[in-house]
Structure 1
Amino acid sequence: MAEPASTSATYAAVAGASLLAMFPGLDAGAVLGAFAGAAVFVMSSNELGVGKKLVFLALAFVAGLIAAPMATTLLATMLPARVQVSAGVGALLASALVIKVLIRLINKADSMDLLTGMKGGGK
């Protein structure tokens, strides 16, 4: 059975995403797609605590909305011309992947020797 706190947080997040979909200028499909992708990302990351999951949910949601046009265009170029890709699908894909890609890039940059001087380790 789900905990009451996590159930309440889920309902609040869904209500917030639904309210954002009503704002003019925001594509409702992109808002719901970004929320769904952020939820998929958070639910697939088992090593994070509850606080970090909430922060990553918000970050993935915003990043999915921002990167939705780019992800939609990239996906449309990879698919046949007769397949139309909606902004919601692009937002879902972007929000599910963008935080994972950024974390991987940060970890890769930390392991490079070029940045040791910035960390205070090189003299």
Structure 2
Amino acid sequence: MSFKRVQLKMKPDLVARLDAQAKLENRSRTELIELACEMMLSQQGAVEGTDATMKMLRKLIQDEVTPQFNRMAKMISKTTKASATAMYMQVVELNHAGQDAVSIFRDSEARAANYLTSKE
């Protein structure tokens, strides 16, 4: 394996700490600096890899969920339209029969609310 010589300028206290650690681990300054550089670059690569993975996952989830969301929105829209049409038809029929549709619907709404709260 070939090496390339690199000159570094470091603060004296950092060099002292590096030398003390090298002596403690029975390694050279160069070995510790190489190890520190490799660890830092590996961590940075892991973070960048995680960011890319998260971005890809978000896109996959969005691509999967968006069509389902749009389908549900269309279903809700159709259901709302059908309900409104049915209610209008009932109002017309009740009025045609000479009954007060508004009072009947308010009474029905109150009964439904009482029924639902009694079930909770």
| Alignment TM-score > 0.5, same fold | no
Length-normalised TM-score, structure 1: 0.27
Greater relative CO (CA pairs within 8 A, separation 6+): 1
**Structure having the higher Rg:** 2
